[in-house]
Structure 1
Amino acid sequence: MIDPLADVVSLLRPSMRFSKLVVGAGPWRVHRSDPGDLFYCVVLEGECLSSPGAGEPIHLMAGDFLLAPSAREIVASSRPPPPLEVENQPVALGDGVFRLGLADATPDVRMLIGHCHFESPDVALLVSLLPKRVHVRGQQRLEMLVKLVGEEARADRPARDMVLSRLLEVLMIEALRASGDSSALPGLVHGLADARLANAIRAIHAEPTRAWTVADLAGQAALSRSAFFERFRRTVGVAPMAYLLAWRMALAKHMLRNGQRRIADVAERVGYSSASTFSTAFARHIGMTPTQYAKHEDFAPS
């Protein structure tokens, strides 16, 4: 069974920046900038408000999980929030624990928080296929996974980075598939929750080399061409052929980074009839030719 969600998450290659336990007491607010990495939070006790990235603050209660694949700004506060002029810096208590708010009061909220980095240079392209924010309520599996991630991040065990990477992939997939309901924002997860669109998306991932047309994909979804196009664009957030192009370019970049230097071979494996046609499409989409990309210093063999 082709799994487009697993395809996207594995290409992102998540790695842990840091994880921590945060406790808060009384009124508090924290506001920080972030480089656009993945942010997640699970509330163990109490409640708070959190707004990773754009959008209204989300009311989080015990057992809630919040994930933002790309958060450039994070604002969180007690509930009810304090006056706007109140802003705190987390105080380190040791052993990965941080405190917000009153220092001499019993904490009324406990949260596990993590910040992760995506190693893939295709982050912008791949993250654009995911929801901007995922809010899940009452999923104990997510809390368990977050605890495992935190324990592994603080331990010094063999193969720690590999284990963390796999745990983070599982955490993301678990959170994203738990969000795939009618209230989800446009994106790949929402598309896969639509049984008809899922058939078309899986077909793209199963046969990226096929000369797909909108009519072909509409046939996979058992919809008319116009109904399919509008439903796909509304649900996934991009037009069907734009999704196909984005996925082909992600696969091509992955091949070029991993030692595939024959442009004709890459072109054939992502559905182009000639190296020149592929090179033109790649340069238009990526901003450099496949040869230039393959020789880029970030990916050149050491």
Structure 2
Amino acid sequence: MLLPATPGFTMSGFEPVVPERIDAKASASPKGEVRYGTRGGRPDVRMLGGYFVFDSPDAALMVSLLPALVHVRGVERLSPLVGLVRDEASDQRSGRDLVLTRLVELLLIEALRSTSSDDAPPGLLRGLADVRIAPAIRQMHAHLTRSWTVAQLAKSAALSRSAFFDRFTRTVGRPPMEYLLDWRMAVARGLLRRREFAINEVAERVGYSSASTFTTAFSRRVGQSPGRYARAS
């Protein structure tokens, strides 16, 4: 089970119990196995927990484009990966942290792959799995500086303008031009954090003809000017 934005949740078995609140941020991280329920005997369920950290201030954009919950079932490729993670986590062999990092990255990719179907919740994964919408998304990513219109994107999807707009919004969870703006702002923030480009160069790289137009759009979307954002990063 993958939760891109972890909400509060309750775990229970079949017997009625009084929930015990646990604050993950305030509680000390457990070492080794933590057991709930009846002591002794074979456990009914074993769970292995972990987390991912997206090293970017645009993590909120990625999370908003992912399903709120990914429940993976019957994916045989995941079982050996989970076994390897369990083995590495329980041992103290050399290179443990590096191996765990790579294994957990593979787990994330495989879990996200499993949601790329028509019944996945609206988001980027569902959009990339849609044979009509995926070409438009890839065009936006590959040619960010182009002055895209809905009509041009609809042509790449082989759909009418209205059909494309409705299908994109339903599949991705936001209209095409709003998605394009969010993506441009995410790329712009990355460029500004690097402090290698002047604001007019950043504007040009994300599809704006002038620094003033870009500054207005960036300030409206991010809540501060590009210059101030770069200085604070």
Shared fold per TM-score greater than 0.5? yes
More helix by share: 2
Q: Which runs of 5+ in 2 are unaligned?
A: none
Q: Once the two structures are superposed, what CA deviation does each residue of 1:1-50 show, in whole Å capped at 9, x if it has no partner?
A: xxxxxxxxxxxxxxxxxxxxxxxxxxxxxxxxxxxxxxxxxxxxxxxxxx
The TM-score normalised by the length of structure 1 is 0.69
CA contact 1:181–1:193 (8 Å) conserved in 2: yes
Matched, 1:233 2:169: yes
Shift of 1:229: 0.3
- 1: distance between equivalents of 2:59 and 2:177? 20
- Normalized against structure 2, the TM-score is what? 0.87
Counterpart Cα distance in 2 of 1:248 and 1:219: 21
- Please state if 1:74 is matched with 2:39: no
Instruction: Give the match for residue 108 of structure 2.
Output: 172
CA RMSD of aligned residues (A): 2.4
**Which digits, 9 at most, give the CA deviation of each residue in 1:195-220, with x for residues without a partner?**
01001011111111111111111011
Number of the residue aligned with 1:294:
230
| Equivalence for 1:14 | none
Contact persistence 1:214–1:225 (CA under 8 A): yes
Which structure has more strand as a fraction of its residues? 1
Q: Equivalences for 1:6-85 in 2 at 5 Å?
A: 66-78=1-13, 80=14, 82-83=15-16, 85=18
Gaps of 5+ in 1: 1-65
Letter in 1 for 2:183: W
Query: Bigger relative contact order, structure 1 or 2, given CA contacts below 8 A and separation 6+?
Result: 1
Taking structure 1 as reference, are residues 137 and 288 closer, same or farther at Cα in structure 2, changes over 3 Å only? same
Q: Does 1:192 align with 2:125?
A: no
Within 5 Å, give how 1:1-302 maps onto structure 2: 66-78=1-13, 80=14, 82-83=15-16, 85-87=18-20, 96-152=32-88, 155=92, 157-158=94-95, 160=97, 164-296=100-232, 299=233
Tell me which moved more, 102-111 or 198-207: 102-111
In the alignment, residue 208 of structure 1 is paired with which amino acid?
Answer: L
Identity %: 54
Aligned residues: 227
Identify the range of structure 1 (144-153 vs 226-235) with the bigger mean alpha-carbon deviation.
Answer: 144-153
Question: Do the aligned partners of residues 264 and 151 (structure 1) sit closer, same or farther apart at CA in structure 2, a change above 3 Å counting?
Answer: farther
- CA-CA distance at 1:168 after TM superposition: 3.6
By how many angstroms is 1:147 displaced? 3.9
- SS of the residue aligned with 1:117? coil
